[in-house]
Amino acid sequence: MTERKLRVATTSLAGCFGCHMSLLDIDERLFDLVQLVEFDRSPLTDIKHCGPCDIGLVEGGVCNAENVHVLREFRRNCRILVAVGACAITGGVPALRNNIDLWDCFQECYQYEPGTAGHVIPDDPELPLPFDKVRPIYEVVHVDYYLPGCPPPADAFWQLITDLAAGRVPKLEPAMIRYD
Amino acid sequence: MTHPLETAAHPETLRRVVIDPVSRVEGHGKVTLLLDADNRIQQARLHIVEFRGFEKFIQGRPYWEVPVLVQRLCGICPVSHHLAASKAMDMIVGATELTPTADKMRRLLHFGQILQSHALHFFHLSSPDLLFGFDADVARRNVVAVAAARPELVRQGVLLRKYGQEVIRVTSGKRVHGSCAIPGGVNKHLTPAERDYLLADIDRTVAWSRDAVALIKQLYAERKDFHNGFGYFKSAYVSLVRADGALDFYHGGLRARKADGELLFDHADYATYWDRIFEVTKPWSYMKFPYLRDLGPEDGWYRVGPLARINNCAFVPTPLAEAERIAFREFDHGSATHANLAYHWTRMIEMLHAAEGIHALLRDPDLLAGELVVKGTRAERGVGVIEAPRGTLIHHYRVNEDDQIVRANLIVSTTHNNEAMNEAVRQVALRYLDGTEVTEPLLNHIEVAIRAYDPCLSCATHALGQMPLEVAVVDAEGRTVDALRRDSDGAVRRPSEIAA
Ligand code: SF4
């Protein structure tokens, strides 16, 4: 292969990392994958900020100001941005808190629990501002592709990346399109 | 509960250094350090920066939905949440004792989870530090570089994780977020074909797990004093143990051992964990700080996970792993038994035990036939506790007569280790960064200390957030004075330089 490798960044916003696990579930194909792509910022590398990339894979919705910052950085740097999994596409399970007042959530978690001795609700400036609603990423940035599933199957990741690497529009078999 | 270096008196006069995000851990963490004009560390903190609100939004959902829903807190150890919630729901439906089939199917699933999670942590996340050194070039500190240097080793790591994931898929239908356990039992048997499929690769899985223990033992011994002393401190330990004191990931009573080795309590019923474990919150992290009530908030913090379990148990109930436990305990007159980096070693011993456990279970006819579910008298309160890959995991629910959840409380494994990880950050910061110019490799030392715990910042968010790791340096007044960020090009910059 003479062509340069695609550069891929991945991140988890308000997600559970299950989508990243499913990417790793390509198992031995990981060795073929690294012939095609190299990783920029990702939980697998120590690169802390996304640089210019071909593909950005975003897991999880947007639940705080820091998520917006990271998401915009990805959009600025990635030629193709993919919303990966139910959380990035719809908000997912974390968005179950959307019809509840955020302050009620904080009180439930930090003030009412059995055996909780100190009753402070964390509010340090180092903690990013939480939003009242968890939002899908398309409400914040333009998204090029959506990879559905909770998580999307490993084969779907493989298909997406190999199609893009070959310059094709990604095409998924019906069995790879999951709404679980 | 405050510790030296936890809070600086005058942060506004200090320079802030931040590691954000902490990488090669699962979830989001951030470390902040505060330094004075002479680069002396005044404050060091590990922050968990996301908040989920699970305990609130679960209210009103039907109880039988919880074991499936709660997995979505964490995609790294979804099985642990699935099982802990199911054990709580067993109490709700009055299933005091499960059928042998249900018990063994769940144990098989759980062994698969321990195996894949421990393999992931060692091979995919931590091996670059252990093989290349903590101050290796940023570009090399990832599994791809390890694969280039040691292809056979990484191939085994990938296939070990794959095997654990396949055990999970076969027992629960999916590798991530499947469903096996239901209130009162499980929803399937293993078919003979599925059993034979898993049997095909089990021997090499045991053999490679053994090799992994040998490798970490050799790496550890090569730089014994450095590894023993890295961020060193003593602590109490908490884990479940079986009635005979054996290591048991799935069920048992709570055992707490003080730092001096004396037992604080033993075989305590976890259904009333709140008599033993309290939590405090601190304004600077969404992750709470649990402590042992008998020891009080100052001294009562403790560690959980592989090191705690291996130190706490009387023996490991499989022969190869038990031999390795003894070797670990006896290593250099017991000098490794409190070491942060001994987490890696004990994690591999547990991986070997999981492989041996699967090996033994797969031949058990109860997996192929037998009753799946039992029910009894409905109860209002359910508590489920298991030993997840990262340590003791507590799920606690109350359910009303309409089958809705009214209250929920979770204490996840990583939360128990909150104070310990902060202590490790402080010790490493003092030893390696105090009074020197902060550099990127030095910051990685802090991350290495955190990584030893295999923190799952996704879970830790349960208290409804995700744990971001950032290192900030704050001044004596508590203001953040400095931050360092590692960018895509590998360069380390201060925020002031980035803003400029
Ligand atoms: S889509 Fe599912 S697997 Fe992916 S982050 Fe969300 S909950 Fe986790």
- Condensed to tens digits (0 to 9), the pLDDT of residues B303-354 reads 999 999 999 999 999 999 999 999 999 999 999 999 999 999 999 999 999 9
Tens digit of each residue's pLDDT (9 = 90 or more) over B135-169: 888 888 888 889 989 999 999 999 999 999 999 99
With contacts defined as CB-CB under 8 Å, which chain B residues touch A6?
Answer: none
For residues B308 and B314, the answer to whether their CB atoms sit within 8 Å is no
Query: What pLDDT is attached to residue A28?
Result: 94
Tens digit of each residue's pLDDT (9 = 90 or more) over B436-457: 888 888 888 988 988 898 887 6
| Ligand 1 centroid to residue A137 C-alpha, Å | 14
Residue B244 CB partners (closer than 8 Å, separation 6+): B314
Q: Do B274 and A150 touch (CB under 8 A)?
A: no
Give, in order, the Cα–Cα distances in Å from B39 to each of B33, B266, B413, B450, B485.
Answer: 10, 45, 34, 22, 17
Tens digit of each residue's pLDDT (9 = 90 or more) over B341-390: 999 999 999 999 999 999 999 999 999 999 999 999 999 999 999 999 99
Question: Per-residue confidence at A163, pLDDT binned at 50, 70, 90?
Answer: very high
Rg (CA), chain A: 18
Residue A102 or residue B235, greater confidence:
B235
> Is the peptide bond preceding residue A151 cis, with omega within 30 degrees of 0?
yes
Q: Which amino acid is at A11?
A: T
Question: Per-residue confidence at B104, pLDDT binned at 50, 70, 90?
Answer: very high
Tokens 């023996």 appear where? B315
Residue B182 CB partners (closer than 8 Å, separation 6+): B64, B67, B86, B89, B373
Average pLDDT, chain A: 89
Ligand 1 pocket list (CB less than 6 A): A 15-16, 18-19, 59-60, 85-87, 92-93, 150-151; B 72, 75, 176
Query: What pLDDT is attached to residue B470?
Result: 43
Out of B74, B144, B468, name the one closest to residue A34 (CB). Answer: B144
Query: What pLDDT is attached to residue B462?
Result: 42
Alpha carbons B370 and B389: distance in angstroms, whole number:
29
Tally the C-alpha atoms within 13 A of residue B255's C-alpha that lie toward its C-beta: 26
B131: closest CA of chain A, how far (Å) = 15
Burial class of B231 by CB neighbour count within 10 A (0 to 12, 13 to 18, 19+): buried
SS3 letters across A65-134? HHHHHHHHHHHHHEEEEEEEHHHHHHCCHHHHHHHCCHHHHHHHHHCCCCCECCCCCCCCCCCCCEEEEE
Residue A115 or residue B139, greater confidence:
B139
**How big is the CA angle at B388 (ends B385 and B392), to the nearest 5 degrees?**
50
pLDDT at B176 over 90: yes
Sheet holding B381-388, edge to edge: B381-388, B391-399, B405-411
B367: closest CA of chain A, how far (Å) = 26
Q: Which amino acid is at A48?
A: K
Out of A24, A43, A122, name the one closest to residue B24 (CB). Answer: A43
DSSP A14: B
Nearest CA to ligand 1 atom 6: A87
Query: What pLDDT is attached to residue A140?
Result: 96
Tens digit of each residue's pLDDT (9 = 90 or more) over B457-475: 655 554 332 233 345 555 4
Mutate to test the interface with B, among A13, A21, A78 (most CBs of B within 10 A): A21
With contacts defined as CB-CB under 8 Å, which chain B residues touch A148?
Answer: none
Max mean pLDDT range (A108-117, A128-137, B240-249) = B240-249
Q: Do A49 and B488 touch (CB under 8 A)?
A: yes
Nearest CA to ligand 1 atom 7: B72
Query: What pLDDT is attached to residue B54?
Result: 85
Give, in order, the Cα–Cα distances in Å from A21 to each of A43, B19, B116, B200, B453.
Answer: 11, 24, 11, 24, 19
pLDDT at A170 over 50: yes
| Ligand 1 centroid to residue A16 C-alpha, Å | 5
Look up residue B205 and give its two tokens: 């899985």
Residues of chain B above pLDDT 70, percent: 91
Question: Per-residue confidence at A2, pLDDT binned at 50, 70, 90?
Answer: very low
Q: Is B469 helix (H, G, I), strand (E, B) or coil?
A: strand
Nearest alpha-carbon partner for B464 in B76, B49, B82? B49
| Cα A175 from chain centre | 22
Give, in order, the Cα–Cα distances in Å from B445 to each of A68, B19, B378, B412, B432.
Answer: 29, 11, 51, 25, 8
| Mean pLDDT, residues B173-186 taken together | 95
| Mean pLDDT, residues B390-401 taken together | 95
Q: Do A113 and B55 touch (CB under 8 A)?
A: yes
Break chain B down into helix, strand, coil percent, rounded to 5: 45, 20, 35
B141: closest CA of chain A, how far (Å) = 7
Rg (CA), chain B: 22
Q: Do A24 and B161 touch (CB under 8 A)?
A: yes
Question: Per-residue confidence at B182, pLDDT binned at 50, 70, 90?
Answer: very high
Average pLDDT, chain B: 88
Tens digit of each residue's pLDDT (9 = 90 or more) over B6-53: 888 888 888 888 888 888 777 678 899 898 888 898 898 888 877 888
Nearest CA to ligand 1 atom 5: A15
Look up residue B28 and give its two tokens: 């989001």
Residue A130 or residue B358, greater confidence:
B358
Nearest atom in ligand 1 to A19's CA: 4
B406: closest CA of chain A, how far (Å) = 11
pLDDT at B477 over 70: no
pLDDT at A52 over 60: yes
Q: Do B488 and A40 touch (CB under 8 A)?
A: yes
Tens digit of each residue's pLDDT (9 = 90 or more) over B46-72: 888 778 888 888 999 999 999 999 998
For residues B43 and B429, the answer to whether their CB atoms sit within 8 Å is no
With contacts defined as CB-CB under 8 Å, which chain A residues touch B297?
Answer: 117
Q: Is B388 helix (H, G, I), strand (E, B) or coil?
A: strand
| Ligand 1 centroid to residue A87 C-alpha, Å | 6
Question: Per-residue confidence at A125, pLDDT binned at 50, 70, 90?
Answer: confident
Look up residue B305 and give its two tokens: 């996970």
pLDDT at B486 over 50: no
Mutate to test the interface with A, among B61, B65, B72 (most CBs of A within 10 A): B72
Q: Which of A10, A62, A67, A87 to mutate to test the pocket of ligand 1 (most atoms within 8 A of CB)?
A: A87
pLDDT at B219 over 80: yes
Out of B142, B147, B282, name the one closest to residue A46 (CB). Answer: B142
Q: Which amino acid is at B280?
A: V
Q: Do A47 and B284 touch (CB under 8 A)?
A: no
| ipTM of the modeled complex | 0.92
Mutate to test the interface with B, among A36, A105, A127 (most CBs of B within 10 A): A127
Nearest atom in ligand 1 to B176's CA: 3
A83: closest CA of chain B, how far (Å) = 17
DSSP B275: G
| Ligand 1 centroid to residue A180 C-alpha, Å | 10
Q: Which of A12, A150, A180 to mutate to test the pocket of ligand 1 (most atoms within 8 A of CB)?
A: A150
Model pTM? Answer: 0.91
Q: Do B72 and A41 touch (CB under 8 A)?
A: no
B176: closest CA of chain A, how far (Å) = 6
